[in-house]
């Protein structure tokens, strides 16, 4: 039960649809507010994750202390736009109230072997965000395919300012996999051992039931240790998972999110 609750507290409650409206952003925030009022003994989700245009609506409606607002930026999900546009979009997300920004590593550059440019873009966004906002870098591990490529992308992101590395956008298949999660967590462990800096890990894409969330939690615990099992270092990108976890925790279908 404690593990289920911990997974719930690590969720980035996510809506990333082309049909999302400002009202949907407000509804997500209001659902988090309502849950906190109905179940004060439970932790809240870690964050609400939306497209940049919805950030002001979420910021205005969200009343629960500690729940962060995350925006997907940098030309999400394809990351196929100009570096200056990526940096400007991410900076505006923060100006409008985002605490965190999730970007996709430039696969255009990375898959071409132009690692220097891929890293430069991450560093450029990191600088644009300023000191307070957290940067999550999505590796899109399903298209990287090999262990070596995932390792290369993980270190490239961490060395250029990522606060979290994240498996997937959820827009391409395969999305999150236990294999990619273990490789990424090993990279985070090695980076910590060499630098003393703790980088967070976020699996995302296709995680819908408690058993899957618990599997990723187990990988984090085994590779990185219990100190990583906190929302400041472990997140799960999810939408359907939220209600499914609550169903297992309360043994009834609450359907609050």
Looking at the annotation, which residues are catalytic? 102, 166, 202
Convert the pLDDT of each residue in 20-39 to its tens digit: 999 999 999 999 999 999 99
Q: What is the mean pLDDT of residues 158-169?
A: 98
Q: Give 203's contacts (C-beta < 8 A, 6+ positions apart).
A: 166, 167, 168, 176, 181, 216, 236, 237
Rounded to two decimals, the pTM is 0.97
Can you tell me the distance from the alpha carbon of 218 to that of 204, in angstroms, rounded to the nearest whole number? Answer: 15
The reported pLDDT for the residue numbered 145 is 84
Q: Tokens 């991410």 appear where?
A: 90
For residues 163 and 193, is the Cβ–Cβ distance under 8 A?
no
The reported pLDDT for the residue numbered 198 is 98
Convert the pLDDT of each residue in 128-151 to its tens digit: 999 899 999 999 999 998 999 999
Domains of the chain: 2-250 (3.20.20.70)
Q: Is the pLDDT of residue 256 over 90?
A: no
Q: Is the pLDDT of residue 193 over 90?
A: yes
Convert the pLDDT of each residue in 55-114 to its tens digit: 999 999 999 999 999 999 999 999 999 999 999 999 999 999 999 999 999 999 999 999
Can you tell me the distance from the alpha carbon of 15 to that of 246, in angstroms, rounded to the nearest whole number? Answer: 18
Residue 135's DSSP bridge partners are 101
Q: For strand 68-72 and strand 47-50, is the pairing parallel, antiparallel, or unpaired?
A: parallel
The reported pLDDT for the residue numbered 200 is 98
Q: Give 23's contacts (C-beta < 8 A, 6+ positions apart).
A: 57
């Amino acid at each position: 039960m404690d593990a289920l609750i911990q997974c719930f507290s690590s969720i980035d409650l996510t809506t990333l649809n082309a049909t999302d409206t400002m009202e949907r952003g407000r509804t997500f925030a209001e659902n988090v507010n309502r849950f906190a009022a109905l179940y004060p003994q439970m932790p809240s989700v870690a964050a609400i994750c939306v497209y940049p245009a919805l950030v002001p609506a979420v910021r205005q409606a969200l009343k629960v202390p500690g729940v962060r607002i995350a925006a997907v930026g940098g030309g999400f999900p394809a990351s196929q736009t100009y570096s200056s546009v990526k940096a400007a979009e991410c900076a505006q997300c923060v100006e409008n109230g985002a605490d965190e920004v999730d970007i996709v590593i430039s696969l255009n550059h990375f898959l071409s072997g132009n690692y220097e440019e891929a890293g430069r873009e991450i560093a450029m966004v990191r600088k644009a965000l300023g000191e307070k906002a957290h940067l999550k870098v999505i590796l899109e591990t399903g298209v990287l395919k090999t262990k070596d490529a995932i390792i290369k992308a993980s270190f490239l992101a961490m060395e250029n300012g990522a606060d979290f590395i994240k498996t997937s956008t959820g827009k391409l298949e395969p999305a999150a996999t236990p294999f990619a999660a273990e490789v990424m967590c090993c990279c985070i462990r090695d980076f910590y051992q060499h630098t003393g800096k703790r980088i967070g890990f976020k699996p995302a894409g296709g995680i819908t039931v408690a058993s899957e969330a618990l599997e990723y939690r187990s990988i984090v615990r085994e590779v990185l240790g219990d100190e990583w099992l906190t929302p400041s270092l472990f997140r799960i990108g999810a939408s359907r998972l939220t209600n499914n976890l609550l169903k297992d925790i309360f043994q009834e279908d609450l359907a609050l999110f």
